Chains A and B, each alone.
Chain A
Amino acid sequence: MRVNFTVNGRKQEVDDVWEGESLLYVLRERMGFPGSKNACEQGECGSCTVRLDGVPVCSCLVAAGQAEGRQVVTVEGLADYARHREDAHPGTGCATGACGTPLGTARSRQAGDGQGTEELSPIQQAFIDAGAVQCGFCTPGLLVAADELLETQPSPSDQDIREALSGNLCRCTGYEKILDAVRLAAARQEEAVR
């Protein structure tokens, strides 16, 4: 079958999709977006998390056909997504204008040790700076989930962060540096508002 949907702001058309293929498979194997990861393919680990019309979902549990006509944001588009959110609603950080969370300007604060040649979203930069990346296999899904958390909840408590990220397994870090990263991104974004 043919499936049409938007990935990271660009319309895509994919042919020869077998009906049983997941959105994750089509993204990774047919469209050249391998950033979303295939750690369990049963909806338990969160490493394939993408935004589907703004909602974080496990793309391994979404049939590709279900994405027809919809908007998908993957980790590859996260930096652009954060930038557009900032452009559309400066100082609010929310694509709908209802969230009141700025993100883009937070980047003006320190950016790693110079390796950040690419434009990164604040949560991506914070993951690097806080040491939240080890093997990195869980990272794409966590970034998408954490970015959504900060969009809807700009100053989350530790318990809020834990609750929001409880669907994302990490086997390397023991989560402490991931908490640090989310706190760091939240603090930077708060500082940017002032």
Chain B
Amino acid sequence: MALHPRAASVPAGTPTRITQGSMTKGGIGESTLRPDGTLKVTGEFAYSSDMWHEDMLWGHTLRSTMAHAAIRSIDIGEAVATPGVYAVLTYDDLPAAMKNYGLEIQDTPVLAHGKVRHHGEPVALVAADHPETARRAAAKIRIDYAELPVITDEASATAPDAVLVHEGRTDHHIGHVAHPNIVHRQPVVRGDADAAAQRADVVVTGDYVFGMQDQAFLGPESGLAVPSEDGGVELYVATQWLHSDLRQIAPVLGLPEDKVRMTLSGVGGAFGGREDLSMQIHACLLALRTGKPVKMVYNRFESFFGHVHRHPARLHYEHGATKDGRLTHMRCRIVLDGGAYASASPAVVGNAASLAVGPYVVEDVDIEALALYSNNPPCGAMRGFGAVQACFAYEAQMDKLAAALDMDPVELRQLNAMEQGTLLPTGQRVDSPAPVAELLRRVKARPMPPEQQWLSADAGGSSVDVRALPGGLSNTTHGEGVVRGVGYAVGLKNVGFSEGFDDYSTARVRMEVINGEPVATVHTAMAEVGQGGVTVHAQIARTELGVSQVTIQPADTRVGSAGSTSASRQTYVTGGAVKHSCEAVREQVLEMGRRKFGTYHPAWATAELLLEGGKVVTDGGEVLAPLAEVLEDEAVDIELEWRHRPTEAFDLRTGQGNGHVQYSFAAHRAVVEVDTELGLVKVIELACAQDVGKALNPLSVVGQIQGGTTQGLGVAVMEEILVDPKTAKVRNPSFTDYLIPTILDTPSIPVDVLELADDHAPYGLRGVGEAPTLSSTPAVLAAIRNATGLELNRTPVRPEHITGT
């Protein structure tokens, strides 16, 4: 993801591959348990919605009921007069010249000004002494809307007389898009697709539709803003990137950044949905206006409006192959709907375009990806980030091509699989392991789940467990009309922020002696959103510093930026920063030891020294001194930034450039059973194989893969935000109507973890979180197609798509 490309000034990456190789217990490679585990199982872990302050008020947001409308007037009189109400704020109350925010393009109004551009846009804020009082007062605010025509798709966005979603654009993409309702467009062109198409014996094309998915993190947007005596504000909030929030919040409040002090509260999941701001500025505005602490907590209905979603997409693909199955060319066009505000759309476009080919070798390609501005809900980051939509389409194409060639779909993929050394359509050479064919081999070689697994043998022969059948306890079938299908898919995802973004992290590491024991303290601003970064940071500190006691400080803005908990990047980048700072601390500790004890033992000068088990030892295992004696009452405390190697922007016409840091790969095999009469699908097994370079915490790695796989399953068979095409209003903002997989919908997910080191990355690791979300969806779709023989070019698949009713 590239938000502020600045290729030229990025310093070279620091090599961090070398580790001292300490065998200290609880170090990297072990499945150590979460340091926050006990707090989380006892209910004591403080999430952002758990914050409480004496004398606090409750904030509430009034949101637009229209998708596109001019605001003729706002009457807050009755709301202000409501007993218990302390403040009602609209656009006119914003204190600073800066009234917009945004990740890359500051196009999002803090509160609507003159018009609303999507259903659920914030228009006014209320603070009251009870949440219900605030809600009821907000309902008394009278807004006079004049409806405007809605832009809902590419045709309406780019029509000659189309209303502009944003007039007078001045952002840096406006110069290279064909219409102001296009946020960003990125072609990737390599070779000569037209000429190569002449060599194709078989050509397959397809048009694919990807529905709008919601992150559906369980912890709602929430936080507490506390005004401070110096005129600033303390904000306790759940986010993915504290410093990015800070950069957007402070200017709107009219405060210098050091007067907005942010502390990460417990985060109940994120998956991309907390990259953008939600209640942060609103709570601060109300707190500063009232002089009282203000808590805001969205309910689920509001949460569906309170964050961006995954871009829905329309994709056209054409693949050609020779009759022996070699890909000749690929052409595609990917249209992403970015909704009313830019959010991360430009970077999603970059990903979709640069990863559109998937993990295959195709020398002649013609790719175009773009994102629209529309009056649909804003879309931005979600796990998989532009690569998910493309993977759904190119994997459907691979199956189509295999059928046209009468080849096995896995063999076709393996025949064309990229590997280390492959030149991607962007011209970037993949310089670390890319075991695509091997991952496919592994999922294919796995034994199949037993046929008719709903039957269990008992005394009277066999009985049916309907829970194992499509329809489950609804008892819709005992096996009649149920057909099994098997499908495969593999994907290609980048790791880390791309396109020249200065993607660094910061870690402060301190080592001192407490009660006679050496203790390391790690302080970063990394957002722990559930992924287990805090576990891994402690493991890295143990490995690098040879201590058993590690304290992880709460994440806040007193330490430098850690970058976002996004793009599968935190273990790589903030993990790399922790390692880097630990190495500096270690070097300083050894220097202290040499000064104190060097004259007593020659090994201080001559041997390779390690920190292990709380002692300084030689690589031969001889103990030179306990760390407690080296440090005594001194502390070593170092804060350093760390960067991975720089990337480059993509050329705006050709898409050429070394745009990505690292690639990651996962493959899935889905086994489904479909009740063809009712169109009900039960996924029986969703096996995954993934290369992770090095599993720093194997238990957490498998947990990430299973969780990512399940989100891919969700968008295959149930998850979609439905937007009325006539009004652009959201029709299902609730967990009653927007379904995510339950434990009954989720199959067994066996995981095969490969560890082929990437020599450029700390410990050889490869980002894990997103790759499984890519291939899961197309594997399930392929399995349903295999079971039913239907084409199924959209996801999610609903019963009516299977039954045709």
Contacts and interface: CB of A to CB of B under 8 A. Distances in A.
B216 interface: yes
B428 to A, nearest CB: 32
Interface in B725-748: 734-736, 740-744, 746, 748
A131 B699 contact: yes
Interface string B676-716: 00000000000000000000000110110011111100000
A163 interface: yes
B465 A159 contact: yes
A42 B218 contact: no
B36 interface: yes
Nearest to B267: A135
Interface stretch (A62-70, A81-89, A94-102, A173-181): A173-181
Contacts of B597: none
Contacts of B220: 38-39
Contacts of A171: 215-218, 269, 271, 707, 711, 740
A192 interface: no
A165 interface: yes
Contacts of A74: 43
A117 interface: yes
Interface in A113-166: 113, 115-118, 120, 124-125, 127-129, 131, 133-140, 143, 159, 161-163, 165-166
Given A136-B268, A173-B706, A120 B743 contact: no
A117 B38 CA distance: 9
Given A134-B532, A176-B706, A128 B49 contact: no
Interface string B118-153: 000000000000101000000000000000000000
B460 interface: no
A171 B220 CA distance: 13
A36 interface: yes
A47 B299 CA distance: 13
Nearest to B37: A128
Interface class of chain A by DSSP: loop
Interface string B487-514: 0000000000000000000000000000
A18 B133 CA distance: 11
B74 interface: no
A15 interface: no
Contacts of A190: none
A91 B465 CA distance: 31
B530 A172 contact: yes
Given A39-B220, A135-B218, A124 B41 contact: yes
Nearest to B41: A124
A14 B431 CA distance: 64
B52 A139 contact: no
A169 B215 CA distance: 13
Contact of A133 (B40, B46, B218): B40
A108 B111 CA distance: 57
Contact of B297 (A18, A38, A131): A38
The range of chain A's interface size is 35 or more
A113 B38 CA distance: 11
A116 B699 contact: no
B109 interface: no
Contact of A138 (B42, B130, B218, B703): B218
Contacts of A127: 37, 41
A167 B473 CA distance: 13
A128 B269 contact: no
B130 A18 contact: yes
Given A39-B268, A41-B300, A172 B707 contact: yes
Contacts, number: 196
Given A18-B130, A128-B34, A176 B748 contact: yes
A118 B38 contact: yes
Given A36-B43, A171-B216, A133 B34 contact: yes
A156 to B, nearest CB: 12
A143 to B, nearest CB: 6
A116 B38 contact: yes
B700 A131 contact: yes
Nearest to B133: A18
A13 interface: no
A137 B37 contact: no
A173 B271 CA distance: 12
B36 A29 contact: no
B467 A136 contact: no
Contacts of B52: 29, 32, 34
B642 interface: no
Given A133-B37, A136-B36, A178 B735 contact: no
B649 to A, nearest CB: 34
A189 interface: no
Contacts of B37: 112, 115, 127-128, 133
A34 B218 contact: no
Given A20-B132, A35-B43, A174-B707, A136 B530 contact: yes
A26 interface: no
Central interface residue in A20, A37, A38, A129, by most chain B CB within 10 Å: A38
Nearest to A47: B218
B219 A39 contact: yes
A171 B707 CA distance: 7
Given A136-B45, A173-B703, A41 B299 contact: yes
A170 interface: yes
B362 interface: no
A134 B707 contact: yes
B177 interface: no
A120 B38 contact: yes
Given A135-B218, A170-B218, A42 B736 contact: yes
B707 A163 contact: no
A129 B293 CA distance: 38
A120 B268 CA distance: 22
Interface stretch (B25-33, B599-607, B613-621): B25-33
B578 to A, nearest CB: 20
A42 B734 contact: yes
A135 B50 contact: no
A44 interface: yes
B38 A75 contact: no
B467 A163 contact: yes
A135 B529 contact: yes
B749 interface: yes
Contacts of B699: 131
Contacts of B741: 175
A90 B314 CA distance: 62
A34 B43 contact: yes
Contacts of A47: 218
A42 B43 contact: no
B218 A37 contact: yes
A45 interface: yes
A128 B700 CA distance: 12
B531 interface: yes
A40 interface: yes
Contacts of B743: 161-162, 165-166, 168, 170, 175, 178-179
Given A33-B43, A135-B269, A172 B33 contact: no
A128 B130 CA distance: 36
A23 interface: no
B92 interface: no
A34 B268 contact: no
Give the 5 A-B CB pairs with smallest separation, nearest first.
Answer: A35-B43, A135-B530, A137-B268, A136-B40, A174-B706
23 contacts: A18-B132, A29-B52, A34-B46, A34-B49, A35-B43, A37-B47, A41-B300, A44-B736, A74-B43, A112-B33, A112-B37, A127-B41, A135-B269, A135-B270, A136-B266, A139-B40, A161-B743, A162-B467, A162-B744, A165-B743, A166-B742, A173-B706, A174-B707
Given A37-B49, A39-B218, A134-B703, 11 more contacts: A33-B43, A34-B50, A37-B268, A75-B43, A113-B33, A120-B42, A128-B41, A134-B531, A135-B268, A166-B744, A174-B707
Interface of A: 18, 20-21, 28-29, 32-42, 44-45, 47, 74-76, 78-79, 112-113, 115-118, 120, 124-125, 127-129, 131, 133-140, 143, 159, 161-163, 165-179
